[in-house]
Structure 1
Amino acid sequence: MLRRELLALLTGAVAARRTDSDVSPSVDGRSPVDSGRAVADGEAASSWPRFKFDASNTGFSTSASGPRDGVTESWQYRTGGGWNAPPVVDDDTVYVGGDGLYALDRETGVRRWEFRNGEKLAFSGPSVGEGVVCCVNLDDYHNVLYGVNAADGTERWSHELGGQVLDSPVTVVDGTVYVTGPDETHAIDVSSGEHEWAVSPGMGVEDNSVPAVTSDTVYVSDSRGLRALDRSDGSERWTYDISDSLSPAVDGDRVYVGGYQGGQWRVVGVDAETGTGEWQATLGETDVGGSPTLLDGRLFVSAGNVRAFDTDSGEELWTSPHGGGGIGLGSPVTDGELLYAVDTASNYVAALDPEDGSLQWRFELEDPGSGKPETPALAGDTVFAHGSHTLHALVPDNDPPVADVTHEPSEPTTGEPVTFDASAARDPDGSVASYEWDVGDDGTVDATGETATLTFSEARAHTVALTVEDGRGATDTIRTSVSVVEPNDPPSPAISVGPSDPRVDQEITFDASRSSDPDGSVASYEWDLTGDGTVDATGETVTHAFESPGSRRVELTVTDDDGAVRTASRSVSVSARTSAATDTAVGSDGESTGTARAASADTPTAGSGGGSPAGTEGAPSAGGTTVATASPPKSATGVLAAVLAQLFSAELLVVVGVAVVAVLIVLTWERQVEGR
């Protein structure tokens, strides 16, 4: 028999204690820490606490959601010894037997603790409950069931099982651990290790199985066939004749088991209450590879290939062409969507469609083949498959997300809020689950979320790193540089107007040359000369004439070389146009000199060909141009007229001049009369 050959192989193995460098390396050279994935929200609650998930050994986890389109290896841990016992998962820890009992971090594969007992050969598949990990430590002909504290790996209790046990995964249900030994089936209190009951099959046992437990019955396969035992005291209820049977599975009112019967390997359906056989399906000459798996009225069993049967009639539904064709294919497990199976002879893990057995994906293991069928564990989105020497954690094949970031303003000042936006980040095969912002790229998370608002106190280039994660462990990081500058002081606009008292249609000069910028230079000048909010002229100096009198508001907007803007305004009073007979001298500073005189037709002006007339003298102006001025009259009346010409504005001189002329005429006439 195959199992005798495997026992011989195992008894020749050396279970020597190894260093961390021996137990932890991966086949591809990665450390177990190199997981590249994180446990998603809610995933930690998904566990696989015993062989085939539940106490009934159905192999169907309602809380798992395994890989659909392919897998990648998250981590691996070398268990050694050529002993590929089925693993179990409890919350964030994976427990697996090899040449020691190991507790591994579920996310990273890093070992938390290791339990050993001298040079014992190997540990079988464990089960966990009530804070205790139960596992059989076996060697050639001496086997011990241990209860180990799940928290730290220290021994709580142990119980001798007697002689040879080749493969004895245990199951913990409601505070009791059930195990089939070489001579007896045991029920033991998981907390204390005290016996609740033990039942002997009555003869030696070559192959042992994991009991299936319901509310009142324990179903066990041993040398006497398939037996139903009372859960309270172990008393036998019935026996069904089938040899070399493996672990049974129970669903409702029927129990299923594979074994050797009538010269053929078969899978059978038996009434759970009476032990009466209801149907048989022939598997052929290939040894049954493990316990049946049950899903929605279908039974799946490995016998060279995975095969599907109707649970009510035993009718075969399909045989998958994807299998090793030999004895290495173990029991499949399911999440309700796909079947997952390990072939330790051909060294692969495969996912099959339960509807027709079609292959969905296949992952090659690098372990040397052992040929010992094994059952994987399925928890969350991860398949835990134990090859001949190594436990593999397989997660969905995942394209990493792509980080992207923008920030506004593009060139902020110290103390100014800067908004960073990662809304353009994407995930090609899913969605972005988290965003982490690291200011200074020092490994510290300073903000989270799709957007972040940050401020900077120093004027220099700052590096901001964004890391996005897709919820399945894949990440991408992008770094952006932010140039922070000191705040820009705005410019100071200044307006000069000449002349300061302009008249209608007179050209006015508006000058902004006295404008300044404290930390740069003025880059542009914009003039609103009409008060309507539009730009009428640009430049440092502009000219303009107003067509009507009144008060005018002129605005100047200046912009500095860093973009700062400031506006100033000035009111300009425009006077009505003067008479054509009035001449006003305007000084070079734009201000009126206030000098004016009445011109007559017989009085030549300065610069005429006749030179200065009698009674005038030329006086050069500030600009070098000679301006004619009248000589003061000899009489008191003439003096008065000259004074008045200096005191009054040009507007009054017209009136005053007419009056003075009239007075002079009268006085002249009077003198002529007196002279007679």
Structure 2
Amino acid sequence: MRSRRDVLLGTGAAGTAALAGCLGSTDAEPGSDDDYTWSTPGADIGNSRAVADGAAPREEPSLKWRLEFDSAFITAEPIVTDDTVLVTTGTDVVAVDRETGERRWSIDPDNDAYTYNGAPTVVGDTAYLQEVDTLTARDLETGEVEWSHEFESTIGTGSVTVSETDDGRIYAAAGDAVHALEAETGDHLWEQKLLGVPRYALSKYADSLYVATRGGELYDVKRWGAVEWRRTIEAGIASAPVVLTSEDRRTGHGVAVAANDGTITYFDIGGNREWETELGGFGTDGLAIGHRTLLARSGSTLYALDANEGGERWRVSLERGDSGPPIVVGDTVYVGDDRLRAIDIDGGVGIRSFRVGERRFERETDGNVGFVTAADGKLFATTDAGWEEDGSTELLVLS
């Protein structure tokens, strides 16, 4: 998948911003690229959850195919390559043919316990899966194990990433440490102990690996294992770190995280706390960055923030307070709750939550929509049955 992160580093200016009204249009246009994949959690190694120039349905899409799973929940976003979809059901990880929906292989078909949580990462013909306390490289076509590395502790939810640049490494967080391994062989290169246990997806930019612990520690760990800086979010961290580059902001690059109290904080390249924005609610793992707009889900409200200063562009009320994160494809934000919603990246016209023309479509499903990803102009959405609901858990492919 093409990365949008190949830009020069810059320096940021310090400042603080409170919530404001509408800050104007992003001048975003419908995407024209229909040849892209979603091969790693967060869409790219910066965890942007965005394909800014990608094409995807802007009107209510039709169903291409659906596949039901014997599980109450899908526990991670679908990973989509040129010919395969990888779905983490909690009890298993299933590989599916992308065109037909036919199951190819799975790693633990007889398992009943919810032991699989993070989405795999795919590089070339290899899928890297976190299997409880073991990182496993599997052939994408057959599921056969190429190598595996067992850690002393379990791997955090989603905390695996692979560099797409020049170092050929895979990074994983297990227990209270982050590890680097050779992606081709699984050879262990180094380990860096942390204060706390990482839970969320790792993010990478240039030589920096950003690692967040649920307890509230945010690290910049260099690719050779040294800690550049560590910062504390007093309320605890409730999202994966998202890299913002000079493509997203007027100056410099840095990283944003959501806190348990609903605060969004942006740190510049040196670890300086440049701005904070209070959303006034509990934050969830729902950050995305696209067209200079930071999307943040907090409970039943989706916020769009200016990436430069954190001011509010717009907000949209959703029906439910689920934690499915938004994604950005082209000029559209896609997010799930009781249905799949498509929202204009500019939020339509209005002030704060009083909007007109912000919704492109709302598509009802048999269950609540959890995760949404996209590839080659199609949407891949998961639905959850819920513990007490009478329904099915499904993967929907929409075009």
Same fold (TM over 0.5): yes
Match of 1:584 in 2: none
Matched-pair contact (CA < 8 Å) for 1:79–1:97: no
Distance in structure 2 (CA, Å) of the matches to 1:147 and 1:379: 23
Q: Does 1:131 align with 2:128?
A: no
Of 324, 327, 350, the match for 1:333 = 327
Matched-pair contact (CA < 8 Å) for 1:132–1:190: no
Q: Deviations over 1:560-593 (max 9, x none)?
A: xxxxxxxxxxxxxxxxxxxxxxxxxxxxxxxxxx
| Percent of matched pairs sharing the same residue | 25
Q: Deviations over 1:44-64 (max 9, x none)?
A: x42111112111111121453
Match of 2:305 in 1: 309
- Give 2:327's aligned amino acid: V
Q: Does 1:179 align with 2:176?
A: no
3-state DSSP class of the match of 2:279? strand
TM-score by length of 1: 0.47
How far is 1:291 from its partner? 4.2
Match of 1:318 in 2: 314
Match of 2:51 in 1: 61
Q: Does 1:384 align with 2:385?
A: no
Q: Which has the higher relative contact order, 1 or 2, with Cα contacts under 8 A spaced 6 or more apart? A: 2
Of 277, 282, 285, the match for 1:281 = 277
Question: Using a 3 Å threshold, how does the CA distance of structure 1 residues 210 and 96 change in structure 2: closer, same or farther?
Answer: same
Match of 1:157 in 2: 147
Q: Structure 2 matches for 1:597-612, cutoff 5 A?
A: none
Of 334, 339, 343, the match for 1:352 = 343
Give the root-mean-square deviation of aligned CA atoms.
2.2
Distance in structure 1 (CA, Å) of the matches to 2:88 and 2:373: 13
Distance in structure 1 (CA, Å) of the matches to 2:172 and 2:363: 33
For structure 1, the residue ranges without an aligned partner over 5 or more in a row are 1-41, 396-676
3-state DSSP class of the match of 1:284? coil
Q: Does 1:144 align with 2:140?
A: no
How far is 1:296 from its partner? 2.2
For structure 2, the residue ranges without an aligned partner over 5 or more in a row are 1-32, 246-252, 349-357, 385-392
- Give 1:391's aligned amino acid: L
The count of corresponding residues between Structure 1 and Structure 2 is: 332
Q: Which has the higher helix share?
A: 1
TM-score by length of 2: 0.77
- Give 1:289's aligned amino acid: T
Matched-pair contact (CA < 8 Å) for 2:56–2:330: no
Q: Does 1:77 align with 2:72?
A: no
3-state DSSP class of the match of 2:289? strand
How far is 1:130 from its partner? 3.4
- Give 2:36's aligned amino acid: S
How far is 1:382 from its partner? 1.0
**Whose Rg is larger?**
1
Of 259, 262, 265, the match for 2:262 = 265
Distance in structure 2 (CA, Å) of the matches to 1:201 and 1:78: 39
Matched-pair contact (CA < 8 Å) for 1:279–1:314: yes
Question: Using a 3 Å threshold, how does the CA distance of structure 1 residues 173 and 338 change in structure 2: closer, same or farther?
Answer: same
Matched-pair contact (CA < 8 Å) for 1:79–1:100: no
Distance in structure 2 (CA, Å) of the matches to 1:393 and 1:353: 21
Q: Does 1:238 align with 2:234?
A: no
Distance in structure 1 (CA, Å) of the matches to 2:216 and 2:60: 43
Question: Using a 3 Å threshold, how does the CA distance of structure 1 residues 180 and 324 change in structure 2: closer, same or farther?
Answer: farther
Q: Structure 2 matches for 1:504-653, cutoff 5 A?
A: none
Q: Deviations over 1:129-184 (max 9, x none)?
A: 1321011123xxxx222211112111112222344556225222233222222322
3-state DSSP class of the match of 1:56? coil
Match of 2:293 in 1: 298
Match of 2:77 in 1: 86
Matched-pair contact (CA < 8 Å) for 1:52–1:375: no
Distance in structure 2 (CA, Å) of the matches to 1:196 and 1:117: 32
